[in-house]
Amino acid sequence: MDKIIFLGTSAGMPTLKRNVPALAMVFKPGDEFWLFDCGEGTQRQILQSNLKLSRLSNIFISHLHGDHTFGLPGLLATRGLLGVKKSVNIFGPVGLDSYLNNNMDYTRTHIPYSQHLFPIEKERFLAPNLLWEKENISVYCAALNHNIDSFGFAIIKKHIQKNILIDKLLDINIPPGPIYKKFKEDETVELEDGRILKSSDFVKETITIKKVCYCGDTTFSKNAVSLSEGADLLIHEATFSTHCKEKAIRSFHSTVGDAIEVARLAKVKKLALTHISPRYDDLANSPEKYTEFRELDEKLSSDSPEIILAEDLMELEI
């Protein structure tokens, strides 16, 4: 992943400033993107970004509550109306398949591309477990604590950089030229003088790993901590201000303090707070000080994560 776009950062219902939850993870080159949750109106938020529905390949739904799912049937239908033929993978809690199928049946909606549904069974994800992988990307999933099955996702992308050991090649009289490229591409390289060399002896591979974790609705969760261990970015719900701990527990949600606690225990580099209750829409005059984490942030030690308050259509480079 190379970029995150917050498409909706409100909780429960949209406000004038924030739409209901959705998040895009964009991959370069090609701008393929994955969608995490799909609240009502997500397709309209997408229109305000540079995202193209034809480049959408994977959809992950954290849980079945309406503010995270009411936008999905419409988005899938529009993707069909636009003539997109490329298939899409949809990962979500058990029940998402009947929710979508019934919706399509009752509304007589025909989807002209294949949808591969992968039901997430809680029993398999009582602790973080591999959900899906392809080439250099793995997706891990873990059950969180909500009043309905709810899951967090960790996306790990490996990037392999190949560097030519120039000195070693010069030592055996191979000067820089197009032949150097072959060492990066082929297993063996045959020289004009007949010598055959093993590329691995002349190339050093450096592997860098990027990790992003998205935790949908939950109270403080140990699984969220282990899932996001060492992440470059943790996107965590923070429905309530730290003062509203009781309200948060009653509704199975997190406070700003809970999200910070997860981020600190998991030693993540950056924390983005999202899923913000409409009661804080007017942050300056909100009933409780939602942004007081900023003062708290200054008091935290230097190994604490950078904390960002997500806004709709905000983009974060990874």
CB 63 → Zn ion: shortest distance, Å? 6
List, in order, residues 6 or more apart from 282 with CB less than 8 Å away.
Answer: none
Q: Which amino acid is at 134?
A: K
Count of CB atoms situated within 10 Å of the CB of 2 = 13
Residue from 37, 40, 217, 258 touching Zn ion (CB under 5 A): that is: 217
Q: Kindly state whether residue 65 participates in binding Zn ion, applying the rule CB under 5 A.
A: yes
59: closest CA among 84, 34, 40, 39?
Answer: 34
Answer whether 36's CB lies under 8 Å from 67's CB.
Answer: no
CB 258 → Zn ion: shortest distance, Å? 15
**What part of residues 119-158 is at the interface with Zn ion (CB under 5 A)?**
none
For Zn ion, give the closer residue by CB, 18 or 65: 65
CB 108 → Zn ion: shortest distance, Å? 29
- Largest Cα–Cα distance in the chain? 79
Q: Is 201 a catalytic residue?
A: no
Count of CB atoms situated within 10 Å of the CB of 63 = 23
For Zn ion, give the closer residue by CB, 217 or 312: 217
CB 217 → Zn ion: shortest distance, Å? 4
Which token pair is 307? 């904390």
For Zn ion, give the closer residue by CB, 51 or 143: 143
Residue whose tokens read 């909500």: 146
For Zn ion, give the closer residue by CB, 55 or 245: 245
Order across the sheet with 306-309: list the strands: 129-134, 137-143, 151-164, 203-215, 233-237, 270-274, 306-309
Taken as a whole, the chain contains a residue count of 318
**How far apart are the C-alpha atoms of 120 and 126, rounded to whole Å?**
11
* Upper half-sphere CA count for residue 278 (Cβ side, 13 Å): 11
Which of the residues 2, 31, 37, 67 is marked catalytic? 67
Backbone angles phi, psi at 279, to 5 degrees: -60, -20
Answer whether 227's CB lies under 8 Å from 215's CB.
Answer: yes
CA gyration radius for the chain? 23
Number of amino acids touching Zn ion (CB under 5 A)? 2
For Zn ion, give the closer residue by CB, 65 or 236: 65
**How far apart are the C-alpha atoms of 107 and 80, rounded to whole Å?**
14
11: closest CA among 212, 241, 220?
Answer: 241
For Zn ion, give the closer residue by CB, 33 or 42: 42
CB 149 → Zn ion: shortest distance, Å? 10
CB 146 → Zn ion: shortest distance, Å? 6
Contacting positions for Zn ion (CB under 5 A): 65, 217
Active site residues: 67
